[in-house]
Structure 1
């Protein structure tokens, strides 16, 4: 029977989804690790800019002169060191600033529960690990075969060892079950908000 007043019954609106849960400790620790990675980038950059270039040039010249194929009449080791050390400093500083920006970006976006940021961090972390392993393998291979190796400081060596472990720890924390559940919940809440069912 039709309503004489012209009222129409509408289905009850869907209940709004529950708000995303509190960020789990696993993700919080991963974010802390990213901030630590950014701090290490700053330390590495500052150290590179303030290091004793005289010592580095001397080490580089010594390393070049030890090579059996070195010919001072063709290539002057001191001149090469004078050219390459500033290039290494400038290049290292630029890379350090880029790494700092990436660490901060990933820390903020992952902390907000953005799943694309977790995927991006995973890809970047895998590339970082591959680069670290390749560098370590090259250094070990050159040392074993008596080839040339780039002089490194104690700080540089410590950072080179700490960084891969930090990356692995962050990636594991990002993909543990509590973190995954949080990313899913945040994604569902954002999707619901875009469709108008959620205003929290």
Structure 2
């Protein structure tokens, strides 16, 4: 006997929310750019670990000897340089490994359409650009004033130019309309899924 009030013991199943089947090319290119950024981190680490440290040590010695508080009777400048340069190299290598991990993390999460990852990538990209501009400004200022600058290989110079250009390209691609539409669609589907409005 049917219920006169139309009561149904089980709710009708609703089709699960669908995520857009195809990721837009703008986002795909941004993700590819992130993988390239990770690769550049590895290349930068290789350059750092294999560079000729002689010029860097000489520069450090010269700069230390210029300091009014420098006292060779306490610690000789050459010995200090011999200690500091390997620390600089190891520290740079550690930062490159961390950078690689961040690039991979952002590539995977943005590729999945996670909007929080796009926001994190934007913040990190802005910080990276600010750091690049600061470094360029310091180098240009030191050169103009006749100050010393850290020696850089041709490879490092190329990387210092490529990295900010890559970051800018990625950020633009992440916020173009097709990418934004995809992030919104994925976010809406995940929200409906969390709300439990479908049975399956």
State the TM bucket, normalised to the shorter chain. Answer: 0.7 to 0.9
Query: What residue is the counterpart of 1:192 in the other structure?
Result: 192
8 Å contact 1:37–1:103 — kept in the other structure? yes
* Residues in 1 aligned to 2:164 and 2:13: alpha-carbon distance in whole angstroms: 50
Query: What residue is the counterpart of 2:37 in the other structure?
Result: 37
**CA shift digits 1:38-69 (9 cap, x unpaired):** 000011112212222334324544x538x8x4
Identify the range of structure 1 (80-89 vs 27-36) with the bigger mean alpha-carbon deviation: 80-89
8 Å contact 1:44–1:96 — kept in the other structure? yes
CA change 1:142–1:83 in 2 (3 A) is: same
Query: What residue is the counterpart of 2:140 in the other structure?
Result: 140
CA change 1:124–1:45 in 2 (3 A) is: same
Query: What residue is the counterpart of 2:117 in the other structure?
Result: 117
Superposition TM-score, scaled by structure 1 size: 0.85
Cα deviation for residue 105 of structure 1 reads 0.3
Cα deviation for residue 70 of structure 1 reads 5.4
Query: What residue is the counterpart of 1:74 in the other structure?
Result: 71
What is the alpha-carbon root mean square deviation over aligned residues? 2.5
Query: What residue is the counterpart of 2:169 in the other structure?
Result: 169
**CA shift digits 1:120-158 (9 cap, x unpaired):** 000000001011101110111111011221111111111
**CA shift digits 1:74-109 (9 cap, x unpaired):** 354422321221111111011011101100000000
8 Å contact 2:13–2:198 — kept in the other structure? no
CA change 1:199–1:15 in 2 (3 A) is: closer
Superposition TM-score, scaled by structure 2 size: 0.85
* Residues in 2 aligned to 1:25 and 1:184: alpha-carbon distance in whole angstroms: 16
* Residues in 2 aligned to 1:198 and 1:172: alpha-carbon distance in whole angstroms: 36
Query: What residue is the counterpart of 2:3 in the other structure?
Result: 6
Cα deviation for residue 160 of structure 1 reads 1.0
Identify the range of structure 1 (52-61 vs 95-104) with the bigger mean alpha-carbon deviation: 52-61
CA change 1:138–1:195 in 2 (3 A) is: same
**CA shift digits 1:156-189 (9 cap, x unpaired):** 1111111100000000000000000000000011
Query: What residue is the counterpart of 2:63 in the other structure?
Result: 64
CA change 1:185–1:165 in 2 (3 A) is: same
Mark the runs of 5 or more structure 1 residues left unpaired by the alignment. Answer: none
Mark the runs of 5 or more structure 2 residues left unpaired by the alignment. Answer: none
